[in-house]
C-alpha cells in the first residue's frame, strides 16, 4: 500500500483565524470526521511522521452559521483544515464556540494525530463537554440553574440516590407515584445533618427534605462531593433546591435526586 506519510503536498491554509486564542478545558475526548479529505493538512501537521504514539498538535475550533464546527490544526502560525466535528456533537459545541467568536477569539485545544505510514492520518481532540466550556467562559454557573432572592435551584445533570428513606416512609408516601405512574417528580430542599451511626458516625451528611420534612440523606461520599458548594449557597441565606423523583419499590418508596455534574 502506498505510504501516506511520503505524499508530497503543500497544505493550503484556509481563512486565517483570530490571533486571540482561548485554550479550552481538555478533560474529554472528541472524534473528528472527514480527516480523509484533509490528508495534506494532517501530513503537514505530522511533518510526514507515522503517528505511532499519537502525535501532539493544537487544534482550533471554528463554528459556521450552519451549526457545524470546522477543526483546523495550527502549523507554524497558520491554520489548515483537518476535518469537522460529527454532526450532533458539532451542534452541541457550536453555540458556545460562536459566542467565543463574537468576542473576536477562537477556541483551541490539544489534538492527537493518528495513522501515517501505510494508513491514512486521523485526528481526535482533547476537549471538555460543552457545559464545562460554558462554565470556563463564565456563561454558566456550575451549580445553579435558576435563582430568586430566596431560593436557588440546582442543575439536574446526574442522578443520585438517597439513603435512610426507610425511616421516613410516612412522609414519602404522600409524594409517591399514583396508580399508573412509574415515578413522580418532586422538588426537594437540601440542608445538613449529623450521621448518627456506622463508619462515619459524627460526620456531616446532606439532608434531603420535602416541604421541610426530612425524607433521607445523601451517602457520606456524595455529601463530601457536594458539601462545599451547597454550604456556600446556604451561607448566602437562600434555600437550596433540586429536582428529584420518587419511585415505588419492593422496599417502599425511594427517592432519587437530580444534581449538577461536579468535578471530583
**In the chain, where are the structural domains located?**
4-136, 144-259
Q: What's the pLDDT score for residue 157?
A: 95
The pLDDT tens digits of the residues spanning 137-188 come to 999 999 999 999 999 999 999 999 999 999 999 999 999 999 889 999 999 9
- CATH node for 144-259: 3.30.70
250-254 long-range Cβ contacts below 8 angstroms, 24+ apart: 251/166, 252/165, 252/166, 252/169, 252/172, 253/165, 253/169, 253/172, 253/173, 253/175, 253/176, 254/161, 254/162, 254/165, 254/172
- Residue 169 C-alpha cell reads as 416512609
Helix, strand, coil in percent for the chain, rounding step 5 = 25, 40, 40
pLDDT in tens, the chain (264 residues): 334 433 444 455 567 787 899 999 999 999 999 999 999 888 888 887 776 678 999 999 999 888 899 999 999 878 999 999 999 999 999 999 999 999 999 999 999 999 888 889 999 999 999 999 999 999 999 999 999 999 999 999 999 999 999 999 999 999 999 988 999 999 999 999 999 999 999 999 999 999 999 999 999 999 999 999 999 999 999 999 999 999 999 999 999 999 999 865
Beta bridge pairs of residue 62 = 70
Amino acid at each position: 500500500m502506498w505510504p501516506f506519510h511520503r505524499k508530497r503536498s503543500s497544505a493550503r491554509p484556509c481563512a486565517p483565524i483570530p490571533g486571540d486564542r482561548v485554550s479550552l478545558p481538555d478533560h474529554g475526548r472528541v472524534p473528528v470526521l472527514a480527516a480523509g479529505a484533509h490528508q495534506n493538512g494532517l501530513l503537514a501537521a505530522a511533518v510526514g511522521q507515522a503517528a505511532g504514539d499519537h502525535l501532539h498538535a493544537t487544534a482550533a475550533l471554528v463554528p459556521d452559521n450552519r451549526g457545524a464546527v470546522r477543526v483546523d490544526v495550527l502549523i507554524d502560525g497558520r491554520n489548515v483544515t483537518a476535518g469537522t466535528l460529527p454532526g450532533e456533537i458539532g451542534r452541541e459545541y457550536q453555540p458556545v464556540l460562536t459566542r467565543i467568536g463574537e468576542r473576536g477569539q477562537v477556541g483551541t485545544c490539544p489534538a492527537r494525530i493518528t495513522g501515517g505510514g501505510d494508513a491514512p492520518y486521523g485526528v481526535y481532540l482533547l476537549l471538555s463537554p460543552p457545559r464545562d466550556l460554558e462554565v470556563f467562559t463564565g456563561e454558566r454557573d456550575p451549580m445553579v440553574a435558576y435563582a430568586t432572592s430566596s431560593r436557588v435551584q440546582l442543575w439536574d445533570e446526574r442522578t443520585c440516590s438517597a439513603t435512610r428513606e426507610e425511616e421516613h416512609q410516612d412522609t414519602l408516601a404522600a409524594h409517591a407515584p399514583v396508580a399508573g405512574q412509574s415515578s413522580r417528580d418532586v422538588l426537594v430542599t437540601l440542608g445538613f445533618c449529623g450521621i448518627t451511626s456506622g463508619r462515619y458516625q459524627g460526620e456531616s451528611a446532606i439532608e434531603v427534605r420535602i416541604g421541610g420534612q426530612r425524607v433521607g440523606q445523601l451517602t457520606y461520599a456524595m455529601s463530601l462531593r457536594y458539601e462545599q458548594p451547597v454550604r456556600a449557597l446556604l451561607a448566602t441565606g437562600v434555600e437550596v433546591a433540586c429536582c428529584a423523583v420518587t419511585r415505588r419499590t419492593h422496599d417502599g418508596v425511594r427517592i432519587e435526586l437530580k444534581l449538577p455534574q461536579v468535578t471530583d
